[in-house]
């Protein structure tokens, strides 16, 4: 097992190197002059030349890439053009909000997706199976931003159950320790702040969870149907084992292997694909920060945010591979 983990971890290194190459050259060939963006349109030619020299823009691309890679290794991603703050500091402040939102959305989609998939597989062609599959199709088809606006209109404006935007109320006092507000509220035993955080995260997490919930539900159903047709399941039934024991002790462990892949991929997508959800609900995460960077043409923000999202996706897939080996030890042997 240890050797398998080491091999998979080492295999991530060339992938991350490829990510840095793609991110760097993608922005290198993008129209626009970073020096002019930093200094403004009224900057003199001498100032522009000095800034290009400082940024290394006059050097060959391979030297620029080497300088960029050195900064990435040191976690020095430059400064944002508009706020003049280090990109690494803004990522440190905003990434916990994105992780918190993605985790809550993934917990919702994984729990209900697996549950609905199991029930649909064990009760194939029942009314629940048909309703679940139609609901999954609808969930995949609905745009997240549209669903978010509907949730705001229904649950915030009409019913008044949840706040429309933000991460915490302006009148709520919370001692920030980890930048994960839910964890901070639990650590400090600030239960009113915890309830306020949960009310704020409910609608964006629910909107963000719809697509992965539908995908996980359909995948769980397909995987469980295939497993339930295996000979060892028929043998377990012949021995007189109860249905719940057959499902959760014998079938589910093998049925979850492809489902874990989907959950891992969806979580990686949520970390980078929460841009629309965070923008609609004014959630102060990396997604909204990236959107603002694109609008303002802030190259440093785009470069740092894209690199962060891609790296997160690679790391999540590494963890999924390791979890594979835990659930099915034959994978690590092979």
Report the phi/psi class of residue 40: left, alpha or beta, with left for phi > 0 and alpha for psi in -120 to 50. Answer: left
322, two tokens? 């390791």
pLDDT at 267: 82
The predicted-structure confidence for 237-291, as pLDDT tens digits, reads as follows 777 777 777 777 777 777 777 888 888 878 877 776 677 788 888 888 888 888 8
Give the mean model confidence (pLDDT) for residues 99-128: 87
According to DSSP, residue 58 is labeled: T
Q: Are 87 and 300 in contact (CB under 8 A)?
A: yes
Q: How far apart are CA 21 and CA 299, in angstroms?
A: 15
Q: Which domains does the chain have, with CATH numbers?
A: 100-297 (1.10.3720)
Percent of the chain with pLDDT over 70: 90
pLDDT at 240: 74
pLDDT at 334: 54
181 vs 233, residue with greater confidence = 181
Q: How far apart are CA 170 and CA 166, in angstroms?
A: 9
DSSP-derived 3-state class of residue 188: coil
The predicted-structure confidence for 296-310, as pLDDT tens digits, reads as follows 777 778 888 888 888
> Dihedral angle at the C-alpha atoms of 128, 140, 257, 222, nearest 10 degrees?
40
Confidence of residue 38 (pLDDT cuts 50, 70, 90): low
């Amino acid at each position: 097992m240890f050797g398998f983990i080491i091999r998979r971890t080492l295999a991530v290194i060339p992938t991350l190197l490829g990510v840095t190459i793609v991110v760097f050259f993608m922005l290198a060939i993008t129209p626009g002059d970073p020096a002019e963006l930093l200094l403004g349109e009224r900057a003199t030619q001498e100032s522009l030349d000095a800034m290009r020299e400082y940024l290394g823009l006059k050097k060959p691309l391979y030297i620029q890439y080497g300088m960029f890679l050195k900064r990435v290794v040191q976690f020095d991603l430059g400064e944002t053009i508009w706020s003049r703050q280090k990109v690494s500091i803004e990522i440190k402040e905003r990434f916990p909000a994105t992780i918190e939102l993605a985790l809550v959305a993934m917990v919702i989609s994984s729990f209900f997706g697996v549950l609905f998939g199991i029930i649909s597989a064990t009760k194939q062609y029942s009314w629940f199976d048909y309703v679940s599959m139609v609901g999954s199709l609808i969930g995949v088809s609905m745009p997240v931003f549209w669903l978010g606006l509907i949730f705001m209109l229904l649950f915030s404006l009409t019913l008044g159950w949840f706040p429309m935007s933000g991460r915490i109320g302006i009148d709520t006092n919370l001692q920030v320790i980890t930048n994960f507000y839910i964890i901070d509220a639990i650590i400090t035993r600030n239960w009113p702040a915890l309830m306020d955080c949960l009310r704020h995260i409910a609608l964006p997490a629910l909107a963000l969870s719809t697509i992965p919930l539908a995908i996980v539900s359909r995948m769980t159903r397909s995987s469980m149907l295939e497993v339930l047709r295996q000979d060892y399941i028929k043998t377990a039934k012949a021995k007189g084992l109860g249905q719940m024991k057959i499902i959760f002790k014998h079938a589910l462990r093998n049925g979850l292997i492809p489902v874990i892949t989907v959950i891992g991929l969806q979580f990686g997508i949520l970390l980078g694909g929460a841009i629309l959800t965070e923008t609609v609900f004014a959630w102060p995460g990396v997604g909204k920060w990236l959107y603002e960077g694109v609008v303002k043409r802030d190259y440093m923000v785009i470069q740092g945010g894209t690199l962060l999202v891609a790296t997160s996706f690679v790391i999540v897939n590494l963890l999924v591979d390791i979890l594979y080996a835990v659930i099915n030890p034959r994978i690590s042997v092979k």
